Amino acid sequence: RDDLFVTTKLWNDRHDADEPDAAVAESLEKLGLESVDLYLVHWPTPAKDNFVHAWEKMIGIRERGLARSIGVSNHLVEHLDRIVEATSVVPAVNQIELHPAYQQREITAWAADHGTVIESWGPLGQGKYDLFGAEPIVAAAEAVGKTPAQVVLRWHLQKGFVVFPKSVRRARLEENIDVFGFTLDEQQMAAIDAMDPGDGSGRVSAHPTEVN
């Protein structure tokens, strides 16, 4: 068990009343565990306006030892501010869509100011954008002798983000883990940083205000 870091999430229809307590109990039973390492609120579902209550219940779940750490996923700064104002408890993690074409700088700045870890999901752009053909990434890959995917993952790590690319192919898994023996220089990092125009056009998933 100590070799695994187990994360699970509270789904959108389990925010009300005592539903978060029931949901975590169900998850632990399915996992065959007494606790998880990280429990996340999957989406804020702002139209329902119950994410503050859900966060209050998450705090209780952590206090009872059912989760070592608690956090959120897909939460914007406006959602983060509300839960912290209401509870004074800062999420340990915010798991968000993040890749060179969609860098969510406002959220990552908030996280840096509050000590929240950013987890990047869809770190390679989920195939919507040709990140691997982008000039800054191709140039960096050629310079360091790595693949474009490895360069993108290394960019995440040097930004201080936790990253977990998805793959079922052994060769790809081995490629994805081989990102610790090289470093991107400042110019290479800056060139990749500049790939996001800042207008949200690189987003692949639904916007957090649209998921309810």
Per domain, the residue ranges of the chain are: 7-193
Euclidean distance between CA atoms 67 and 36, whole angstroms: 5
Task: Flag whether pLDDT at 186 surpasses 80.
Answer: yes
The reported pLDDT for the residue numbered 166 is 87
Euclidean distance between CA atoms 147 and 157, whole angstroms: 15
Euclidean distance between CA atoms 105 and 95, whole angstroms: 14
List strand residue ranges (DSSP E) for the chain, in order. 7-10, 36-41, 67-73, 93-97, 117-121, 162-163
Task: Flag whether pLDDT at 178 surpasses 90.
Answer: yes
* Residues 113-135 pLDDT 10s: 999 999 999 999 987 778 999 99
The reported pLDDT for the residue numbered 2 is 86
Task: Flag whether pLDDT at 100 surpasses 90.
Answer: yes
3-state secondary structure 96-129: EECECCECCHHHHHHHHHHCCEEEEECCCHHHCC
Structure tokens at 98: 């993040």
Q: Tokens 């702002």 sit at which residue? A: 46
Q: Tokens 């609120």 sit at which residue? A: 41
As a whole number, mean pLDDT of residues 171-186 equals: 97
Asked whether the beta carbons of 45 and 15 are under 8 A apart, the reply is yes
The reported pLDDT for the residue numbered 49 is 95
Task: Flag whether pLDDT at 183 surpasses 80.
Answer: yes
How confident is the prediction for the chain on average, in pLDDT? 97
The reported pLDDT for the residue numbered 129 is 74
Beta-carbon count within 10 A of 129 CB: 18
How would you label 57-77 residue by residue, b for 16+ Cβ within 10 Å and e otherwise? Answer: bbeebbeeebbebbbbbbbbe
Q: Report the side by side order of strands in the sheet with 67-73.
A: 7-10, 36-41, 67-73, 93-97, 117-121, 162-163
Euclidean distance between CA atoms 59 and 111, whole angstroms: 19
The reported pLDDT for the residue numbered 12 is 97
Q: What is the pTM of this model?
A: 0.95
Q: What's the CATH superfamily of 7-193? A: NADP-dependent oxidoreductase domain (3.20.20.100)
* Residues 31-75 pLDDT 10s: 999 999 999 999 999 999 999 999 999 999 999 999 999 999 999
Beta-carbon count within 10 A of 43 CB: 23
